[in-house]
Structure 1
Amino acid sequence: MKKLLSLIPVFCCCVSFSQQIVLDSLRQQVRIHKDADTARVFYLNELAYQYLDYNTDTAKMYNEEAMALAEKINYVDGMITGRNVKGLLLRMNNQLDEALKVGEEVLELRKKNNSPDRYTGAYTNIGSVYLVKGDYVNALKYLNLGLDNAKRWNQIENQIVILTNIGIVYNNSELNDLALETLQKAVVLNKQLKGESQKLQQAQLYINIATIYHKRGLYDEAEKYFKSSYETYKKENNIRDLSIVVYNLTSTTRFNKDMKACEFFIKEMEKIAAQLHFNDYTASLHLTKANYLLEINKATEALVEVNKGLAIIDTITSQQTYGVLLGVKADCYKSLKDYNRSLEFSNKALTVIRQTGNTTEEAVIFMNQSQVYRALKDYKMALSCFERSVLIRDSINSELFDTRIATLNSFNQLDKKEKELALSNNEKDKAFLENKRQTTLLIAGSVVGVLVVVLLILSLRAYKVKQKDNVLLNSQKEEIEIKNVGLQESKKEIEHQKNIVDEKQKEIVDSINYALQIQKTLIANHELVNQTIPDSFVFFKPKDIVSGDFYWATKKNKRFYLAVCDSTGHGVPGAFMSLLNINYLNEAIKEKNLIKPCEIFDHVRKRLIETISQNGRKDGMDGILICIEEKNNTITYAAANNRPVLISENKLNELQCDKMPVGVGEKKEPFTEFSFEGKKGDMLYLYTDGFPDQFGGPKGKKFKYKQLEELLLENNNLDVYKQEVVLKQKFESWIGPLEQVDDVCVLGVRLYTNESVYPGAEKMAELERSKK
């Protein structure tokens, strides 16, 4: 189980020596200034602020005394500062509605005191409370008011703080590009500052930027920004912030498979834990060590670290870390093949994690349980846990999408209201000027009153003409009203039909989503591929909800079969074809006991012709099916229209294929049995035509096979996960604003055939023998 990156600040309950000196000095000043004057209010407020991180009860005591004294002597600045500290206290205690009221009071006091240059802080504090509440629309409203005011008074540091908070609003709303753009603006502004504060502010900005890159899976970028912050805090000996960035670096380097760097930062974390003497942080250290040890296949040592963490964690105040520790303990027992104990602790982990509401971690636990049940050959429970994990993850993705759309709509509504308000104010100004003008005209009109009488006589004459016109107009009006009634009836009918169409569309989408779940269950579980060939990746991007492309794998009698295929069509028709093709592949291997890939393709073609191609339709698939046999360097395969690509010693080889589909085609001869010798470290790529056929780039042309092969050759020495990231980024940049034209599937595996074609196979066979 990989613990997700956590950026929750670690609040330490210890006070450093230098901080103790500051507190002692402030207490001394309070003792010196015994009189009820502004100096005493100032030092009481400062003491309350300094105590916020260490003892909120003490902070509250000094804050209440400061506010009472400020009110007594009518010291406005003291009242405002006291309320600011009170607002922070309320926010820390999650009393957010009360914190908002205090923020509004501060803003009113600033306005009464005519201090427009100091509105910035008031707006920012209110916006920050809305941010904590999750009300991102109002958060953005007040933060933008603060930003405008900070710009007006050239308050650079305040602009940086506000831009950081706006970046967090966008990040929490899953608007990652806007978040990065906003934080980079803050970085540019920060370069105008000088001194130590500039460096510390930049380090904090880099942590926020790194967090977004980590969330997007761009671990190289995340590691770069985290390391920059690490160097700053290390130089400044800023232990508190260093503890956060080092913890995040252990996670990012591990996700990036940079195990040497991960080990270095774990040692750094050990040094910090020894200085802090803070149990929660030490427990996180043991958790980090356990994850690292599991990654390098040292499950027994990992279990020792987990037990150390569980021994010191506060199970009440640190439920999140407690639940994850239990989950990792279950992972350790799974690696040690003690499956019953693994299930015991994963169930305990589920109980705790559900109380925290961390659905992402819940999905991870269910996926791990699925693997355990599969190892126990309880396939019904394995499938059940797998489906629950998939459903939770789909729900998370759906909620994130809905949050993004809802937030964008809310932002648009806010912008619209502000424009309407501005327009309303303009209208009021126009009305005032119009009234003034009319008053002037009225005075002038009294001078020409005689002319009005003349105009009245002329109007009476014109009235008779107008009466005749009105008769005609009334007749036309009645005719229009009759037609309008008809239009209203038509409109109602159209709306009724629209509602029917919307309901049908919802039913169709629901059905397609259900088909997606079925398809996800039947296509290859990437973890099965990873168990067999650990260094592998899949870039799978359907054009629609469901896909005609699929990748599939199975094992039988020490043979591992892996296929990448492109069924006729995409979307729903393609998905149904893919389900049919997968069914016939399973039938050929598991029921007909066919071994050779060419014979398996022959069987699938025969079954397709029998079932769906009798009316002349050319339905079927193009694809590649490889067979890897344990302890054998020769890999056999069948290929229908698609060629496998093998890169060995930085040389690209396009392997052979049959120029015919698996289905009805011009040729009817049996498929050829092809083979090649694989060497340790070779990269084998299987892919469909979706990537090379995608239109894009500056001229809107196809990507083409040659360019894809050059891309694979250029990056074949990278870690397989990084290769997947490169492919994703290249595809997204190439497609740009254009629409995706077909399903995309690219699968890459690094071969280890000189030792064992699939590491772990012998252990799995040994386990099977022991059970028999």
Structure 2
Amino acid sequence: MYKLKAQNSQIDSLKTLLLASKPDTHRLHLLNELSKAYFKISSDTIRFFALREKQLAQNLKQIYWQASAENNLGISCFFEASYTRALQHYRRALQLYQSIRSERGISSVYNNLGNIERALGNYPKALDYYQRGLAIQEKIQDLGLLGVSYNNIGIIFKRQGEYNKAITYYLKSLQIRKKLQDYKGVVSCYTNLGVVYNKLKQYTKGLFYCKKSLHLAQRLKLNRALYYNNVGYAFFKLNQSDSALMYIQQGYAIAEKNQDKLGKIRAYLHLAWVYYAQKAYEKTIFVAKQALTIAQQLNRRDEISQLSHVLFQSHQQLAHYQLALKYHLLHTQSKDSLINDSKTKEITRLELSYVFDKKQAFLKMQQQVKEQKIRMDSEKKLVQERWYLFSALAGLFVLAIISTFVFRSRQIQKHLNSQLVKQKDKLVMLNEELLQTQDEITAQHNHIEQQHKALVEYKYNTEGSVRAARNIQLALLPFEKDLTKVFKKHFVVYRPKNIVSGDFYWIKTINEQRLIVVADCVGHGIPGAFMSLIGINLLDKIIFQEGLTDPAGVFERLHQEINQVLQQYIDAKWSMGMDAVLCSLVEQNDGNTRLVFSGAKNPLYYVLPGTTALEVIQGDRKSIGGTRGANKSFINKEMVFPPGTLLYAGSDGLQDQNNIARQTFGTRRLQAVLKSCASLPFAQQKQRIEHCIDEYMQGTTQRDDILWVGIEL
């Protein structure tokens, strides 16, 4: 409902702008946007605006917009299942995009051609088109289209039964869509992953991703019955019938509210399976008959086949043999119809492939003849131009050599005479200056020796003070025995740049709640160390004295306290603060751990047990302290993790470290290191990270404080 209102508002706004626009490229843009706004809503309306866009683009001789209009016309035909007409429009769009070398346009048409082949069941050819588009998108780094292509390729592998390959591409699409904050795309990826894991009969993982899909869809207010039905199906396969019924019934309620007939069919079909498994055959027959009526209205032959089969089995169990025979015949007929459909699609695919291949061969031959003629004319013209150019250059070269030789001879003679006189005068002056410089050097040498002695003494005293400060700082950090009490398996990589550090970690337990803070203060050395002491003391005050344990609330209070302590509200130049991660961990009755996370710029990485994928929860774009981002607030992010989940957090000192070639370590290399460590014991994880730091820093010095903490739930 919310999505529909927002879409209607966007369409009304575009129509208003269209009425006020002039017949120029701005109007072309508006017509294109209106066509896209009606995707999956009205194919006729897409065609109406696309034809207007095509006519105006032809009048203005705008090839790009002609190609865009042809592409939109192809999409309108695709939604009507008029695949032959859709192919004609897509091919015209492809030729136009190729004529202006629009790589993005070419790759988008390849995606659309792949969609047609996928609809016809020609998966190898669909995969070929998707991969052509993918190669272009990877080259131009178009993340939006890359996310779509990875998802489409995953669908192909799923339909071909290659589920592990499908998972690989769904995860690639998920990573990009998270980076782009395309949350609807993230919901789609979670849904696809859940379905594939269910196909692999890994129902626990299937349930995990189906639940993630449902929770995010609820946050986005996507009221689709599909998400509830998928969760219910996973519970059903895990033999948890009560939970399955609860979710499937919620899915049916949403489908009923939205008048989503297909959603109602699927909900009833899942309910029939659950009731049949419970041997509640009367209930099975009741819901299956209602779903069958709707499926027959929509001519959904796959669902008709499944529903008639479960009705046949239920009546057979109740000894209703006449009704069982009726539904068995219906099941057989619908199954035969599906087979005939498959054959029809194959014939259509072969016809389209023949026409396409024939036309492509003719166009290729024409292009080769044209290119050969242009090449011969160009070579002939180039030979003539080279001959004229070489002749002119040869004459000029000879003349330049003669002129240069005469001029240089005269200049050299004149220059040598004047140089001899000047050099004599300079030698006299240099001799006097050398004597004077020798005396000055002797005096400076004595002065430098005195300063060196003073500096050595000052450095010794200063380093002694800083080492004493380091002992104080270490005393405020958690001791190893205290850490082990809170987290049995953990590691800490703690490397100050200049003896004392601006990074710190703070771990406490309050009742059943474990709190962990990993912070990176502005600056390093003594300024950073003072800032870390302020942070530790303020955390103790906020959490133990004020009793505040909500992560986002703690960060908001810490932000206020630092502003007050450093008087940043008076003088903005004291913009010192910190980037940090705060996690609240509470173990639940089922053994899982509920995590509440808040991040001030810094993220939290995690690896689920039994997987190798490194996931990330991004922090808010706001630091603690300073006056920037005053209008932003910190936000809690909640998740529930199973036992054995690994959590990683740290400062940006490692990512910013450069090697001898002045290249930074970077976030991608850090993620690769954490991913490779996840399967190792924690002592080896720490050794691996420190080895990577030492190896990368060879021949350089440490730029910033480095801190990384890893724990296992």
TM-score when normalising by structure 1: 0.44
TM-score when normalising by structure 2: 0.48
Higher relative contact order (CA 8 A, sep 6+): 1
